[in-house]
């Protein structure tokens, strides 16, 4: 089983102490977002986890722990660094600070375990096609020596964005073609493996690969293991990722990104953080008498040769 540390919220940035407490105790509780009284107990013992998948916009709070984690677990680290400033991502570090932190992370865990995410790409009067391409090339030049690949996607215009980002300018067909063509050329220039995510469109003619962001290929390359033949379990249309178990909670991310899908309202995370207890098995709050706890099924996706030890040395 792949354990997702960052799908519902930025645990790395805001809840690193809680995560380390969970790792040291060997389990975490995860509340079902739809059925709040249903709680899953997820084992965090290294022998029960195929991969710890981190997703964050700021690894600085976790850097002091990453050597320990990398020695115990198979890991993959998604690091999102975009062109946006505080007007779109209010509590995310600057580009320069983010690049510095990614490089430090890569030196600790190795470049094969770090994926740079430049997504979602969206347009406003400030963040034009030209601005994205200029910023992407600057980052590609700096980051290519330290990452396995780059993953990008175009923003999905779901209904909430109409209220949170009315300044968004819809893409034209020519806009997308120019971005794809130029990102492909920049990637070739710096020998950067670049792929899209969350789409079925084939853009190989631009030098852009089509894949999921969590596939056996990516995880095998990161941790030098072999995965079984696993069918992807799409979270949405165009998704090509295999399944993972999230230990986070919605409406708890304080990054404040205007395009965020995980927070219902921008202010809700600030209210919910009051219920966070770093010593609780749950990210948010504590167990209730009405809760039903179920042991999570954590079958391995990894092919283990006969006689191979399952634990990492």
Provide the CB-side half-sphere exposure for 235 (13 A, CA). Answer: 13
pLDDT digits (tens, 9 = 90+) for 106-133: 999 999 999 999 999 999 999 999 999 9
Q: What is the SS3 assignment for 30?
A: strand
Write the CB contacts of 245 (distance below 8 Å, at least 6 apart in sequence): 1, 2, 3, 4, 30, 40, 42, 296, 298
Q: What is the mean pLDDT of the chain?
A: 91
Write the CB contacts of 77 (distance below 8 Å, at least 6 apart in sequence): 54, 56, 59, 105, 109, 113, 114, 115
Q: What is the SS3 assignment for 153?
A: strand
Provide the CB-side half-sphere exposure for 233 (13 A, CA). Answer: 7
Structure tokens at 191: 């020998």
Q: What is the pTM of this model?
A: 0.92
Cα–Cα separations (whole angstroms), residue 104 to 13, 32, 62, 193, 194: 15, 35, 11, 21, 21
Q: What is the pLDDT of residue 160?
A: 78
Return phi, psi of residue 150, to 5°: -115, 140
Residue 74: name the closest of 283, 246, 302 by CA.
Answer: 302
Lowest mean pLDDT among 8-12, 46-50, 159-163, 277-281: 159-163
216 confidence band (pLDDT: 50, 70, 90) = confident
Kindly report whether the peptide bond that precedes residue 120 is cis, defined as omega within 30 degrees of 0.
yes
Full strand arrangement of the beta sheet holding 114-121: 209-210, 194-196, 149-154, 114-121, 75-80, 51-56, 2-5, 245-246
Q: Rounded distance, CA 9 to CA 55, Å?
A: 9
**17 or 201, which is more confident?**
17
Residues of the chain with pLDDT > 90: what percent? 74
212 confidence band (pLDDT: 50, 70, 90) = confident
Q: Rounded distance, CA 47 to CA 11, Å?
A: 22
Q: What is the SS3 assignment for 100?
A: helix
Structure tokens at 112: 């094969």
Return phi, psi of residue 74, to 5°: -80, 135
Structure tokens at 15: 């809840």
Residue 217: name the closest of 137, 128, 148 by CA.
Answer: 148
Q: Rounded distance, CA 102 to CA 46, Å?
A: 24
Q: What is the pLDDT of residue 313?
A: 33
Lowest mean pLDDT among 193-197, 227-231, 269-273: 227-231
Q: Rounded distance, CA 7 to CA 167, Å?
A: 26
């Amino acid at each position: 089983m792949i354990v997702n540390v960052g799908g519902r919220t930025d645990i790395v940035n805001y809840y690193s102490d809680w995560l380390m407490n969970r790792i040291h105790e060997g389990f975490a509780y995860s509340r079902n977002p739809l059925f709040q009284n249903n709680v899953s107990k997820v084992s965090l013992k290294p022998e029960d986890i195929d991969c710890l998948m981190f997703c964050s916009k700021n690894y600085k709070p976790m850097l002091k722990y990453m050597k320990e984690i990398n020695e115990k677990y198979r890991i993959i680290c998604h690091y999102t660094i975009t062109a946006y400033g505080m007007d779109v991502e209010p509590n995310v570090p600057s580009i320069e600070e983010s690049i510095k932190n990614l490089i430090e992370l890569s030196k600790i865990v190795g470049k094969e375990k770090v994926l740079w995410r430049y997504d979602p790409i969206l347009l406003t009067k400030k963040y034009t096609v030209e601005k994205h391409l200029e910023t992407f090339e600057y980052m590609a030049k700096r980051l290519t020596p330290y990452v396995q690949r780059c993953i990008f996607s175009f923003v999905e215009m779901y209904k909430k964005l109409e209220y949170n980002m009315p300044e968004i300018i819809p893409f034209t067909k020519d806009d997308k073609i120019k971005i794809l063509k130029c990102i492909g050329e920049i990637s070739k220039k710096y020998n950067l493996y670049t792929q899209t995510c969350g789409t079925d469109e084939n853009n190989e003619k631009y030098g852009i690969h089509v894949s999921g962001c969590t596939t056996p290929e990516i995880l095998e390359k990161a941790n030098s293991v072999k995965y079984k033949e696993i069918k992807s379990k799409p979270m949405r249309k165009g998704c090509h990722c295999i399944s993972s178990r999230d230990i986070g909670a919605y409406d708890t991310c304080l990054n404040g990104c205007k395009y965020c899908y995980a927070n219902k309202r921008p202010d809700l995370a600030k209210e919910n953080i009051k219920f966070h207890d770093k010593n609780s098995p749950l990210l948010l709050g504590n167990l209730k008498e009405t809760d039903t706890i179920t042991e999570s099924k954590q079958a391995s996706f990894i092919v283990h040769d006969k006689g191979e030890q399952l634990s990492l040395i």
